[in-house]
């Protein structure tokens, strides 16, 4: 991010309403873990993937052939398709019609449910002895039978480096990354290693406008400061949280950041801002990136 309009112009003062109550980071999965960590069936499935005396293991992967070849190209071997999921009941929070505010309870729920899913995926990868998980996808499913419930899923392909070097991050956990095989290959060419998937989320209620405001802006070209501020603030919160996660991993940067806005099931004025990216760090040593060849295809 290069320029913040809030700082550049006087039109938009930094909103200060929400700073008062910073969101506490949900600390891990302590809330409600599955009774015995990974389900037994999961361990059994993963055990069947590993090489043991008298048993030839195999790998599974949802990577396409291109991605598979590129992962091999940078010296990694896929180990297995790993996943984690959590069905979560989202709490209720009252929102004031005319007030823009973060809904911390819902934010916490979105955080915690995703963390639960990702931690389980991590646990599966750790069980396989992986160095990392690539091509991670985070999805949210809703089922007809569950009101206020959603299923959070994380899936990816666990990989291990073939030269025996460990790529685990500073917490001793396999790195996670939502980069595709292609992006992963390019990233490694530039001398960076992924550290982990980082995210920040913020569920925000955007105030409705009053009659007076509506009338005053009718037929005129004006900025609507309260909407602008609310959306701006929510995005900033989400991105700041993502950056905090990356700092905590000792990252030098975040690549492939996506900012998603979803209303899920909360109606028009309540939006979740989710920013997701892969935290990366520079490796020692010189890396020269080969000069790319320019091509023009004939089928354009």
* Chain residues 180-199 in contact with another protein, contact rule CB under 8 A: 185-186, 189
What DSSP string describes 44-58? HHHHHHS-BTTB---
User: Is 78 a residue that touches another protein (CB under 8 A)?
Assistant: yes
The least distance separating another protein from the CB of residue 48, rounded to whole angstroms, comes to 6
Q: Does 1 bind another protein (CB under 8 A)?
A: no
Chain residues 3-32 in contact with another protein, contact rule CB under 8 A:
31-32
Q: Indicate whether 167 belongs to the interface with another protein (CB under 8 A).
A: no
Window 269-298: residues binding another protein (CB under 8 A) = 269, 271, 289-297
Among 108, 119, 183, 233, binds another protein (CB under 8 A): 108
| Three-point CA angle 47, 53, 55, nearest 5° | 55
Instruction: Please identify, using beta-carbon distances, which residue of 160 and 279 lies nearer to another protein.
Output: 160
Binding mask 120-149 toward another protein (x if CB under 8 A, else -) reads: x--------------------x-xxxx--x
Binding test (CB under 8 A) with another protein, winner from 231, 232, 248, 253:
231
CB of 170 to another protein, least distance (A): 28
Spatial separation of the C-alpha atoms in residues 47 and 34, rounded to whole Å: 20
Which one, 217 or 247, has the nearer CB to another protein? 217
Q: Which stretch binds another protein (CB under 8 A): 6-14, 34-42, 167-175, 240-248?
A: 34-42
Within residues 36-55, the interface with another protein by CB under 8 A covers 39, 41-42, 44-45, 48-49
Asked if residue 86 binds another protein (CB under 8 A), the reply is yes
Cα radius of gyration rounded to whole Å, the chain:
22
Quote the CA–CA distance of 241 and 244 in Å, as a whole number.
5
- 29-36 long-range contacts (CB < 8 A, ≥24 apart) are 29/112, 29/115, 29/116, 29/119, 31/112, 31/116, 32/116, 33/116, 34/120
The CA distances from residue 122 to 7, 34, 71, 83, 136, in Å, are: 39, 14, 19, 8, 11
Give the burial string for 160-184 (b: 16+ CB within 10 Å, else e).
beeeeeebebeeebbbbbbbbbebb
**Under rule CB under 8 A, residue 104 binds another protein:** no
Q: Which is nearer to another protein, 236 or 279 (CB)?
A: 236
SS3 state of residue 244: helix
């Amino acid at each position: 991010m290069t320029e913040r309009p809030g700082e550049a112009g006087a039109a938009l003062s930094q909103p200060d309403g929400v700073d008062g109550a910073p969101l506490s980071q949900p600390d891990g999965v302590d809330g409600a873990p599955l009774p015995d960590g990974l389900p037994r069936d999961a361990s059994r499935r993963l055990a069947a993937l590993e090489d043991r005396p008298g048993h030839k293991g195999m790998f599974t992967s949802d990577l396409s052939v291109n991605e598979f070849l590129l992962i091999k190209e940078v010296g990694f071997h896929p180990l297995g398709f790993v996943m984690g999921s959590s069905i979560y009941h989202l709490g209720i929070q009252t929102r004031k019609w005319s007030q823009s505010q973060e809904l911390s309870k819902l934010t916490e729920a979105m955080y915690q449910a995703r963390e639960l899913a990702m931690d389980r995926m991590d646990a599966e990868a750790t069980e396989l002895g992986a160095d990392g998980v690539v091509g991670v996808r985070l999805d949210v499913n809703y089922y007809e039978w569950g009101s206020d419930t959603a299923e959070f899923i994380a899936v990816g392909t666990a990989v291990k480096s073939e030269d025996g070097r460990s790529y685990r991050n500073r917490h001793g956990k396999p790195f996670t990354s939502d980069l595709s095989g292609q992006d992963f290959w390019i990233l490694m060419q530039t001398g960076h290693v992924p550290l982990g998937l980082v995210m920040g989320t913020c569920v925000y209620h955007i105030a409705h406008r009053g009659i007076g405001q509506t009338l005053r802006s009718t037929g005129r070209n004006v900025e609507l400061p309260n909407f602008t501020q609310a959306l701006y603030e929510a995005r900033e919160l989400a991105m700041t949280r993502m950056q905090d996660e990356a700092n905590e991993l000792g990252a030098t940067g975040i690549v492939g950041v996506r900012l998603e806005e979803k209303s899920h099931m909360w109606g028009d004025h309540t939006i979740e801002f989710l920013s997701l990216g892969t935290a990366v760090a520079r490796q020692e040593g010189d890396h020269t990136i080969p000069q790319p060849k320019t091509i023009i295809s004939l089928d354009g």
